């Protein structure tokens, strides 16, 4: 669905760009053309400078998109001018006026497109899934809340995270799981401490489980991964490092180390486990579903991919797996053998402030027992 939505957004903004090219061509007033150009330039470049100073990757992403719109606009405008010249036999438009018109239209179309990307990165929606199982579960149903890829401090500050925890607490989840990249190298120690404290003060869910992603193991500028784990444990969060826990004598939670680390196999993690009970695997990178399913897992929850981040990458994901560590799924849900899996697009972003092609999300999963 996200791909369809973003295809529509892309086509609409392209249509707006072409419409601007045609409309501005009929503006005879030089003063009005200059005024429109100045306003559009200000609307585009002021946020670009602000966002570029906030995160270094914002600037190249913005200009990459703008380059695409400029090239497209130049091609379309060249075709329109050629058709008009043959049909109306008018003299060529002055080069300066034409380039200003192309720039204005491109900036305007790209501004709308990236504004939607900024909105989708910063507005965290709820995504829900329902799965059924033949295994018995206490009370017949288990509700799981999943948060992934917060990357605290990029699109989500501590206030945003506290608000998110309060919102999720209202969904009556039995457990909350954080599937990696809670922080990254841009997260300050102060923000890390406040966010960890929020699990005690803002979260009303009784059981909270955490696994590390690839960014926790890079170590923050102001703190180490072990310091993060210590703070989480101090605020009633179970940090699972290749560990398996039996919860309420009803289901298992298996927390794996990140794929970038040396870690146990699924066979080792499930050794001695009662396979008649429901088994939930937390694995940050979605690249080991086959082994997890073969070992007997019922559900794997992952993140890492951010839904492909940018619109074209969703189409090219099968050819660009190196960017996503050979991910078996970019976002959404599916099945592998008898195992269900969910890959979250994540609550936040890393390094930039945009998501074009997907939307930020937290996930609510209901597991219903047929017994």
Mean pLDDT by 10 residues, the chain (371 residues): 80 91 83 90 92 86 91 88 68 77 93 92 94 92 96 88 95 95 90 95 95 82 90 96 94 94 94 94 94 95 86 59 62 90 92 86 95 75
pLDDT score recorded for residue 141: 94
Long-range CB contacts for residues 111-119, cutoff 8 Å, separation at least 24? 111/40, 111/43, 111/44, 112/13, 112/16, 113/9, 113/10, 113/13, 113/65, 113/69, 113/356, 114/62, 114/65, 114/354, 114/356, 116/9, 116/356, 117/354, 117/355, 117/356, 118/353, 118/354
- Cα torsion at 280, 285, 288, 293 (round to 10°)? 20
CATH code for 125-369? Answer: 3.60.21.10
- The terminus-to-terminus CA distance of the chain in angstroms comes to 33
- E strands, 242-312, are 243-247, 251-255, 278-282, 299-302
pLDDT score recorded for residue 175: 97
How many alpha carbons fall within 13 Å on the CB side of residue 173? 27
Closest CA to 285 of 366, 216, 209, 357: 216
How many alpha carbons fall within 13 Å on the CB side of residue 125? 11
Buried b (16+ CB within 10 A) or exposed e, 14-24: bebbbebbeeb
Domain ranges (residues) in the chain: 2-121, 125-369
Q: What is the pTM of this model?
A: 0.89
């Amino acid at each position: 669905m996200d791909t369809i939505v973003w295809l529509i957004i892309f086509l609409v903004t392209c249509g707006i760009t072409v419409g601007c090219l045609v409309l501005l061509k009929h503006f005879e007033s030089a003063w009005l053309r200059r005024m429109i150009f100045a306003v559009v330039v200000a609307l585009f470049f002021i946020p670009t400078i602000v966002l570029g100073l906030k995160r270094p990757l914002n600037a190249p992403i913005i200009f990459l998109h703008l380059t695409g719109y400029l090239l497209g606009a130049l091609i379309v405008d060249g075709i329109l001018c050629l058709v008009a010249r043959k049909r109306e036999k008018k003299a060529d438009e002055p080069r300066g006026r034409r380039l200003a018109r192309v720039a204005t239209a491109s900036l305007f179309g790209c501004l709308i497109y990236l504004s939607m990307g900024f909105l989708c990165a910063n507005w965290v929606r709820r995504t829900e899934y329902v799965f059924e199982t033949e295994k018995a579960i206490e009370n017949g149903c288990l509700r799981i809340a999943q948060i992934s890829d917060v990357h605290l401090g990029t699109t989500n500050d501590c206030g945003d995270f506290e608000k998110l925890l309060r919102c999720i607490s209202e969904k009556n989840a039995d457990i909350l799981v954080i599937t990696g990249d809670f922080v990254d190298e841009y997260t300050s120690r102060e923000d890390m401490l406040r966010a960890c404290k929020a699990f005690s003060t803002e979260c009303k869910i009784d059981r909270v489980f955490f696994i590390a992603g690839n960014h926790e193991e890079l170590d923050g500028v102001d703190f180490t991964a072990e310091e993060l784990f210590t703070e989480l444990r101090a605020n009633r969060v179970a940090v699972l490092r290749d560990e398996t826990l039996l919860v309420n004598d009803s289901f298992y939670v298996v927390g794996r180390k990140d794929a970038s680390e040396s870690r146990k196999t699924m066979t080792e993690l499930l050794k001695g486990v009662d396979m008649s009970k429901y088994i939930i695997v937390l694995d940050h990178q979605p690249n080991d579903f086959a082994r997890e399913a073969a070992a007997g897992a019922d559900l794997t929850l992952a993140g890492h991919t951010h839904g492909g981040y940018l619109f074209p990458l969703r189409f090219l994901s099968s050819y660009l797996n190196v960017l996503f560590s050979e991910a078996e799924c970019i976002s959404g849900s599916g099945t592998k053998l008898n195992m269900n899996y969910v890959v979250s697009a994540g609550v936040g972003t890393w390094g930039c402030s945009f998501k074009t092609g997907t939307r930020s999300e937290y996930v609510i999963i209901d597991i219903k027992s047929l017994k």
